[in-house]
Homo-oligomer: A and B are copies of this chain.
Amino acid sequence: MPYSRFNTALIVGAGSGLSAALARVLAKEGIKIALASRSIDDLAPLMQETGAQAYPCDASKRADVERLFADLDAASATPEIVIYNASYRTRGPFADLDPTEVEKTIAISAFGGFLVAQQAVKRMLPKKRGVILFTGASASVKGYAESAPFAMGKFALRGLSQSMARELHPQGIHVAHVVIDGGIKSARRAEPADKPASLLDPEGIAATYLHLIHQPHSAWTSEAEVRPWVEKF
């Protein structure tokens, strides 16, 4: 079991291939993992594999997030590493978008990131240590047609990360934003036969998250991006 500066992690928005890959790679480091997700019904296999605990939580609800962190405190699992991986999106021609769905997209993709990060920071500040990683997307840096809501949510999350990095790096808390510029391979999303290696491998992405978690504080990265080798960008 290799050395790690950190002993506990929280992954919010668990369920996707990336969250599972992150849980696996952190478990190999001997880190105690908590998974939080709106629905935890499908997490049993991952919990068994990684020893993770799962917590139901709607990250866009303040009360849910406060209860999550209280539960983690009570379980001696106050996270030293927090990964915000939750997002939601609605899309379509601009004039046809449903405002309620737009609001939900921003709430889950960005405001939830704030709620989770604030609870984490309150606990990290006294110890002057911790890592908070936000999962971005192509839409974090480029607003695509017929996808205004996701652009709003993902741009906002990047603004949150930049502001936190400027404020919290000098206080010992490493904050970084990772732009995942491409589709992620999953059980539901295989690579098209005519486009081999055109999707990001979750394990490949997790390698970069792990690097950021281990980065020495004399040379911290606050923004990183990863994409498949064949991706047009």
Contact = CB atoms under 8 A, between A and B. Distances in A.
A218 B233 contact: no
B121 A94 contact: yes
A64 interface: no
A129 to B, nearest CB: 11
Given A156-B159, A159-B156, A94 B143 contact: no
B143 A166 contact: yes
A208 B221 contact: yes
Interface in A179-233: 185, 197, 199-201, 203-205, 207-208, 211, 214-233
Contacts of A110: 106, 152, 156
A169 to B, nearest CB: 5
Interface of A: 62, 93-95, 97, 99, 102-103, 106, 110-111, 114-115, 117-118, 121-122, 125, 139, 142-149, 151-170, 172, 174, 185, 197, 199-201, 203-205, 207-208, 211, 214-233
